[in-house]
Amino acid sequence: MNFGKAFTYIFDDPDWLSKLLGPVLLSLIPIVGTLTFSGYILDLIRNVSRNVQHPLPDLDIGGQLGRGFRWFLVQVVYALPFMLLALVMLPFFISLGNASDNNSAAALPVIILVLVGALMAVYGLLLSLILPVAQANFANKDSFASGFNFGELFRMVGNNFGAWLFVLLGFIIAGFIAPLGSFLVLIGAVITSGYAQLMVSHLQGQAYTLSQSKAGSIQSY
């Protein structure tokens, strides 16, 4: 797996500026722009996984907006357990406040909140691993169901677990890169955040390709 390439591939494309200018500026528009940029990222993941020489896609507002919206719906479904668990926790938070002066009455809400919190943490960890795989699968198959084909998703993780660990490492690095442009106010933050997403997306495309069989190499250079 070429980890370093994810940081430099953008500038290998002679048309990188013209390809990125539209999507980055469009991402400043709430909802429509955000969803279109999400679709752009999906196209990029697909191009990398298919070994396109210059994987940066051209802007296709109609197609990318639709794909971005469908991926948003997939994410909403994955977020539902968090929402349900938060609803479960709410009455116990309220009862804990009402029982603040009664240690025995407060014990049960505290236990429930700790257990539900632990369950949310476990689900969050699982989601951090499976969601990048689901996104790569969705990018390549462009169907709502492909985001939830858990047999296939876990098979890909099992085929090349190391490759997806590199993707998680990319997400961690992206978390440091994204806010670096904040000192330039809005446009700087948009540029660094966009670059971070483009970097991680390249890693996802590589990992998807390597995970199609157990023969893929995870060497990083």
Per-residue confidence (pLDDT) for residue 184, from 0 to 100: 57
φ and ψ of 160, to 5 deg: -155, 70
Rounded CA gap, 58 and 20, in Å?
Answer: 8
- Whole-angstrom Cα distance, residue 141 to residue 29? 27
Please enumerate in sequence order all residues whose Cβ is within 8 A of that of 193, keeping only pairs 6 or more positions apart, or say none: 178, 179, 181
On the question of pLDDT at 126 being above 80, the answer is yes
The distance of Cα 175 from the centroid of its chain, to the nearest Å, equals 12
Residue 205 binned pLDDT confidence (cut-offs 50, 70, 90): very high
Q: What is the pLDDT of residues 93-122, one digit of tens each?
A: 777 666 555 555 567 777 888 888 888 899
Q: What integer is the mean pLDDT of 77-86?
A: 90
In the chain, where the domains are located: 5-210
DSSP assigned state of 3:
T
**Mean pLDDT of all residues in 125-132:** 92
For residue 212, what pLDDT is reported?
87
CB 166 within 8 A of CB 3: yes
pLDDT score of 64 more than 80? yes
Distance CA 102, CA 114 (A): 18
Name the pTM for this structure.
0.86
- Mean pLDDT estimate for the chain: 87
